[in-house]
Structure 1
Amino acid sequence: MIRSLLMLPLLLLLAACQSTQVQRDFDPQRDFSAYRTWSWQEPALQYRPDDPRIKSDLTEQRIRSAVSEQLDQRGLRQAQGANSADVLIQAWFIVDERSQQYTSASMGAWGSPWHGFWGGPMYTDTRTIHYQVGTLQIDFYDADDGKLIWRGSAEQVLRDNPGSPQERAGMFRETITKVLSQYPPH
């Protein structure tokens, strides 16, 4: 029972890790209202590590579709040729292996409040949790000078079971919506 109670903070901590952490950076000297069209900078999607379990044409289709949807909602139209685009877009899907150690301690005691307590042995339990963190990063490059003008990324703990194809597409759509919600910078 005590061990179960001690695991509760660990579970709450892991649940807190499930939230998506969004970050952004941009060049404040740029006039983002001048950017109206976009195109993919090939390769449009890069993977780290270059692992066939992560790298997939299906994943790339889902990410490309979600990015196109979100850019369209923000008033950016996909250019027909790379030469006519104002910005070039490139995405990264990065998966890192991470681990954390948690130690819990419990101590037994006997006695009563009237006659004092007698100390018992102390037990410690150390557990190592291994998990994967996925980062989806979207970069905007000025098509004229090739410089990075905006970067947004989201980091999230990946589930062991990624779910159905519809759930995967929904997960990418939701993450990309969060990342691009910060574009254009205000």
Structure 2
Amino acid sequence: MRVSLLLLPLMLLLSACQTAQLQRDFDPSRDFAAYRSWSWQEPGVQYKPDDPRLNSDLTGQRIRSAVSEQLEQRGLRAAAANTVSDLKVHVWLIVDNRQQQVSTQVGGGWGDPWGGGFWGGPSHIETRTLDYQVGTLQIDLLDGKDGKLVWRGSAEHVLRNRQPSPSEREASIRSTVNKVLSQYPPR
């Protein structure tokens, strides 16, 4: 029984972290209806840290494909070669190491505090530190003429230790890009 009580806060923490945490910011003075074309601000996809397990041509291709598809669905067209686009797109894939402290009361008693007495022994609080990684996919849209950031969207996910298959990676990237760009254009 005590072991299951100790695991409850951990399970709640992990289940709470399963959904993507979406963020967005934008320049409200910009006319987003005027933006009709886009191109990549090279390097189009950057990684932090620059780790070869993260920074791969395959991951970059998946991200570029998903972003292209979502921008097209939002009415933006890829600019023709050697032309100035209305928007420049830059994507960051960032992995941070984080910690969370979880405290649990262990032991103690139960019963009637109004004269019936308590049963059980003394209690104490155990605190554990959980180490985990968070992946952030950040999409920046810059004005093609002045180069200033006009829109930024991002999603954070807690990363699991199990390595996903290539098809799972593709689905995860597509889903995350879809969620981030679902906030564009700003309303």
Contact persistence 2:108–2:122 (CA under 8 A): yes
Partner of 1:86: 86
User: What's 1:153 paired with?
Assistant: 154
CA distance in 2, matches of 1:26, 1:116: 60
SS in 2 for 1:84: coil
Residues 80-102 of structure 1: CA distance to partner in whole angstroms, max 9, x if unpaired?
22533111000000000011121
Alignment of 1:102-141 (within 5 A): 102-109=102-109, 116-117=117-118, 120-141=121-142
- Shift of the 41–4 alpha-carbon distance from structure 1 to 2, 3 Å rule, reads same
CA separation of 1:176 and 1:82: change in aligned 2, threshold 3 A: farther
Which structure 1 residue ranges, 5 or more long, are not aligned?
none
Residue 18 (str. 1) matches residue 18 (str. 2): yes
**2: CA distance, partners of 1:20 / 1:171:** 11
Seen in structure 2, the aligned counterparts of structure 1 residues 115 and 56 have a Cα distance that, compared at 3 Å, is same
State the alpha-carbon separation in 2 of the partners of residues 116 and 178 from structure 1.
Answer: 54
Q: Does 1:180 align with 2:164?
A: no
Partner residue of 2:67? 67
1-structure distance, mates of 2:17, 2:24: 19
Identify if the C-alpha distance between structure 1 residues 119 and 156 changes in structure 2 by more than 3 Å, giving closer, same or farther: same
Is this contact kept in 1: 2:39–2:88, CA < 8 A?
Answer: yes
Supply the distance in 2 between the matched residues of 1:130 and 1:162 (Cα, whole angstroms): 17
The aligned residue for residue 52 of structure 2 is 52
Q: Is the Cα–Cα contact under 8 Å of residues 103 and 124 in structure 1 kept in the other structure? A: yes
Q: CA deviation at 1:118?
A: 5.8
Structure 1 residue 119, shift from structure 2 partner: 5.8
TM-score normalised according to structure 2 size: 0.91
Deviations 1:35-93, CA, capped at 9 Å, x for gaps: 11100000000111111121111110010000000001001011122533111000000
Distance 2:109 2:44 in 1: 62
Q: Any idea what SS the aligned residue of 2:164 has? A: coil
Preserved CA contact (<8 Å) 2:9 2:102: no
User: Residues 110, 21 of structure 1: CA spacing in aligned structure 2 closer, same or farther, 3 A cutoff?
Assistant: closer
- Aligned mates of 1:112, 1:99 — CA distance in 2: 38
Q: What's the % identity of the aligned pairs?
A: 63
Following superposition, the deviation at residue 115 of structure 1 comes to 6.2
CA RMSD between the two structures: 2.0
Larger deviation: 39-48 or 102-111?
A: 102-111
Secondary structure in 1 matching 2:99: strand
Q: Distance in 1 between matches of 2:72 and 2:119?
A: 70
